[in-house]
Structure 1
Amino acid sequence: MTNNKTTATLVWICRIAVGLLFIFSGLIKANDPLGFSYKLEEYFEVLHLTFFSNYSVLIAVTLCALEMILGFARLIGYSSVRVAWGLLLLIIFFAFLTFYSAYFKVVQTCGCFGDAIPLTPWQSFSKDLVLLLLILVLFVHRKGIQPVFAKKTGSRLFQGAVIISFGVGFMTYNFGPVIDFLPYKVGANIPDEMRIPPGAMPDEYELTYKLENKATHEKKTMTNTAYLKSGIWKDNNWEVKGDPESRLVKKGFTPKIPYLQIQDAQKNDYLNELMDNPFYSLVIVAYDLKHTNVNAIGRINALAANLHQDYNTRVVLLTATTPEDAEAFAKANHLVTELFYVDEVPLKSMVRSNPGVLLMKKGTIVDKWHYHMVPSYDALVKKYFRK
């Protein structure tokens, strides 16, 4: 009897822990499914499965929904056997991805909890191993897990969970994250987020040298510390072969925005000029003009033209598209904006839509919008310009 009670208690603990963790993980990623899709594209690239990149958003929304659905189903005990299999297969899939990332050092952040809780690949793999152990306990006892609600009620709750889980992902994809965990969130001052404070420790690296003796052809491999300490560098018989290998030993301080370059077509830097502007700037972000929403660009361009005319607002478009293609796009769509060029990585972190809009002043992001949420001219003027 005691053993049965202990087992039942253990199963309930695992049930609650797995259910809540899966719901939390899925909900955090569903808050930013486009960001999760970018991470999936990295995996597809290193695994040579680039065909799936065309469906990365749909896969991201589906995986987020599956986590929430399976987590909720495990909590209420709905369809215990099928859910046990679903959890086991999903955690094996995630464990494989995180192990592959950690061992081969190909994707340095897994995206398990989105940008809210960044984890290293080894941390992510360790988390997945713990979850795997909990899920194995539930899998072994899958036939004994009893539902919390009657069959009809449980079925309705499960159906509601499916609708909500997919609905959250599609909503945030089309209107932007509910909570913005990105470095370019509203209120962030870009120069401050790029600054390294005095006394901050930089990254610490270790160099490894490959040496060969000219006379005996003996070979050695030594770290830079051992190389200097041994004094072998004084011996002319030993020479360094090839370039030294660099390895990160200790991670130092990393600013939230590690780098940002804003240039014109001639490679002239405009970062400081744009950040120092004491007046409002309307910044349109479209990292890929070939796949941007052209109708949205047209609406935003009209808004930009009115703000420039009535309030002398500086309007710029930031893109990672080539200058030739960007200028052709600007001409074809009669854009009134200045064109500047930025690497696509920071552009994807500025706003989760293509295009998106930032309102900036003195380097601070005053507001930002998905292209579905850009306010009207009158609303924007009333809130920010007519004071």
Structure 2
Amino acid sequence: MNIATTQPKVKTGTPPMLIAARIARILVGIVFIFSGLIKLNDPVGTQIKFEEYFEVFAQDVPFLHDFFMGLVPFTLVMSVLFCAAEVILGVALLASYKPKVTVWLLFFLIIFFTFLTFYSAYFNRVTDCGCFGDAIKLKPWTSFGKDVVLTVLILFIMGHRNRLRSRNTGWLVALTIVFTLGLGMYAVQFLPPIDMLPYAVGKSIPDQMKPSEPLRYKYLMEKNGDVTEFDKYPTDPSYKFKEMVLVNEKAKPKITDYRVWNDESDFTQQTFEGEKLFIIIKNTKDIDAGSLPAIRALVEGLKGSAVSPFILTSTSDDEIKAFRKEFQLENVPYYKADATVLKTIMRSNPGTWLLKNGVVRGKWHYNSTPDAAEVKQLVIE
């Protein structure tokens, strides 16, 4: 008599949930590295966003006004550390370096970012969160949605963190720390290695002040409680206008707020004529005074050339006149521009910006002020 014996089935392969956790880990790691690197390329831009948030919080939460305003002087350091943390934690997650600790740190970081984007979207404050710097502009609710998705993915990874093996990849994380902090400090001490702003070298300012193609709109009209969409404004007077929506939004001008003036006239169009070197003085309070002798030498070296130097500032007349006298720049005419525009044009204070017929030919941090020969060469090339 044969006795049949049954063997227990052995499960083979990787459980589907573990595969999903690995995919989530890869996606989260890539997004954090990408986001962090873009912002580390321009940490001053993230600093400006932090300042905006703290100023808004100081207004909206009056009893914590002094606390939030007290954080403003530290926003540049915070910017570098937060941006570096995104890259470091993203690399640590992909490299499976101490995954339990890494996932918890990512969770706290994404909760912080989710709060900021929700505040922006719900209260319509700081409408550009700067999540991906100036490379990718996201609307507030889109930014918030992106952070919610990341939060869900991180929570999913946390639920499977005990299955993630810790690997001996501390050397890679250490190299990432050195690289990210070095990149951040370089961008602060000089200018972003990759300038993604509309005022970058090679960009034409007047061209970017125009739409790239004719703007097209659709018209939402209401009649008897029903809303109808029209490509052209209807001639039927029974329709009531409700809303006009831009169809080709990407065709909008990249620059909409560039304007230069003084007490006598608007100087905007004149900035696009010939060769002009602008000395950007955003304010006179936290300016790097040690860099001004080099700028003064540059101005002196341009005498008799085709390049006309000007000061571009957002400070008051009394302040800029006192500044020009103190640093022997009284022979350099000054014009006004919006403070936000100046922050976008130049990430340092002071800085120099060279235009030729409206096209940016040069842009320098105060730590790398050019000499007159370099400027003259750029305008004849």
Classify the TM-score, shorter chain. 0.7 to 0.9
- Any unmatched runs of 5+ in structure 1? 207-227, 232-245
User: Which of 315, 319, 323 is matched with 2:313 structurally?
Assistant: 319
Letter in 1 for 2:355: M
The DSSP-based 3-state class of the residue aligned with 1:47 is: helix
Measured against aligned partners, the alpha-carbon deviations of 1:155-191 in whole angstroms (never above 9, x if no partner) come to 2222221121211111111111111110101111111
Classify 1:190/1:202 alpha carbon distance in 2 versus 1 (closer, same or farther; 3 Å): farther
Partners of 1:183 and 1:55 in 2: CA distance: 27
The answer to whether 1:200 aligns with 2:215 is yes
Say if 2:276 and 2:309, in contact at 8 Å, map to a contact too: yes
Measured against aligned partners, the alpha-carbon deviations of 1:109-152 in whole angstroms (never above 9, x if no partner) come to 1100000001011111111111111111111112221134x3xx
User: Which of 256, 280, 286 is matched with 1:285 structurally?
Assistant: 280
Classify 1:312/1:230 alpha carbon distance in 2 versus 1 (closer, same or farther; 3 Å): closer
Q: Which residue in 1 is equivalent to 2:227?
A: none
Give the alignment of 1:266-281 within 5 angstroms: 266-277=263-274, 280-281=275-276
The answer to whether 1:60 aligns with 2:79 is yes
User: Which of 124, 128, 149 is matched with 2:147 structurally?
Assistant: 128
Q: Which residue in 2 is equivalent to 1:169?
A: 184
The answer to whether 1:186 aligns with 2:183 is no
Shift of 1:205: 10
User: Which of 241, 260, 270 is matched with 1:262 structurally?
Assistant: 260
Classify 1:286/1:344 alpha carbon distance in 2 versus 1 (closer, same or farther; 3 Å): same
Shift of 1:312: 4.4
Partners of 2:91 and 2:212 in 1: CA distance: 44
Q: Which residue in 2 is equivalent to 1:236?
A: none
Classify 1:33/1:203 alpha carbon distance in 2 versus 1 (closer, same or farther; 3 Å): farther
Shift of 1:201: 3.6
Partners of 2:255 and 2:297 in 1: CA distance: 31
**Aligned-CA RMSD value:** 2.5
> Structure 1 residues 86-95 or 165-174, which shifts more?
165-174
The DSSP-based 3-state class of the residue aligned with 2:28 is: helix
Partners of 2:201 and 2:109 in 1: CA distance: 35
The DSSP-based 3-state class of the residue aligned with 1:289 is: coil
Partners of 2:379 and 2:138 in 1: CA distance: 41
Kindly, what percent of the aligned residue pairs are identical?
36
Partners of 1:138 and 1:199 in 2: CA distance: 47
Say if 1:92 and 1:132, in contact at 8 Å, map to a contact too: yes
- Any unmatched runs of 5+ in structure 2? 1-10, 59-67, 222-236
Measured against aligned partners, the alpha-carbon deviations of 1:17-67 in whole angstroms (never above 9, x if no partner) come to 111111110000000000111111111111112221111111111110110
Q: State the aligned residue count.
A: 345
Shift of 1:374: 2.2
Partners of 1:357 and 1:295 in 2: CA distance: 15
Classify 1:204/1:305 alpha carbon distance in 2 versus 1 (closer, same or farther; 3 Å): farther
Partners of 2:266 and 2:220 in 1: CA distance: 30
Measured against aligned partners, the alpha-carbon deviations of 1:236-257 in whole angstroms (never above 9, x if no partner) come to xxxxxxxxxx998658553111
